[in-house]
Amino acid sequence: MELMEALRTRRSIGRVLDKEVPKELIEKIIEAATWAPNHFKTEPWRFFVLTGDGRKRLGETLARIAERDMDDPTTDENQAKLERARNNPFRAPLVIVAAVEPSDDPRVILKEEYAAVNAGIQNMLLAAHSLGLGAVWRTGKPCYDQEMSQSFGLSDKGEVVGFIYIGYPDLEPPARNRKSIDEVTTWISTD
């Protein structure tokens, strides 16, 4: 797939088939992430590949985080919310948890470490698309919770930055329009 076509046709695919993604494809997706730019060559990304029952840990962590915000987790409504949280990772056969482990180098700016991981995630989304897979990058309050970071063994400085749900698409995404570059670009020159 040509790069500009991939950029224009990639979409967030939230509905995928319950069909295993081969390890070789997963490795290609992760390798794509590791080619993202990163200042001082810190390579601050960390990836956790969740398949099969490996997705349960994420579900249980999501449920524990959700439960902390509930006045009464025993109500039927809240029990249903907790069950949905537990089942979220099972919406796709593969979830890659992307995290940042910032460098200790005092020259490194923390925001740049996050930017590197985010660039890596974009590479992953494009790689998945080029391999015929659907993917969606999910975040939200539980993603950034300290308990989430701890559940993946990250350092005190480390943090989960997203969950990439991947599988074979079960929908045809609609075409999308974007603002023209004229609407979002200001040209500054000495002329």
Is residue 18 included in any domain, yes or no?
A: yes
Instruction: Record the pTM.
Output: 0.94
Kindly report the CATH number assigned to the domain that includes residue 126.
3.40.109.10
First vs last C-alpha separation in the chain:
39
Is residue 150 included in any domain, yes or no?
A: yes
Q: Is pLDDT at 79 greater than 90 in this prediction?
A: yes
Is residue 190 included in any domain, yes or no?
A: no
pLDDT digits 0-9 by tens, 100-149? 999 999 999 999 999 999 999 999 999 999 999 999 999 999 999 999 99
pLDDT digits 0-9 by tens, 6-51? 888 899 999 999 999 999 999 999 999 999 999 999 999 999 999 9
Q: Computed from CA positions of residues 153, 89, 177, 32, in that sequence, does the dihedral angle turn out positive or negative? A: positive
pLDDT value of position 182? 94
- Read off the tokens for 187: 């040209």
Structural domains counted in the chain: 1
Is residue 191 included in any domain, yes or no?
A: no
Is residue 108 included in any domain, yes or no?
A: yes
Domain that residue 39 falls in: 3-184
pLDDT value of position 152? 97
Neighbours of 53 (CB within 10 A): 8
Is residue 38 included in any domain, yes or no?
A: yes
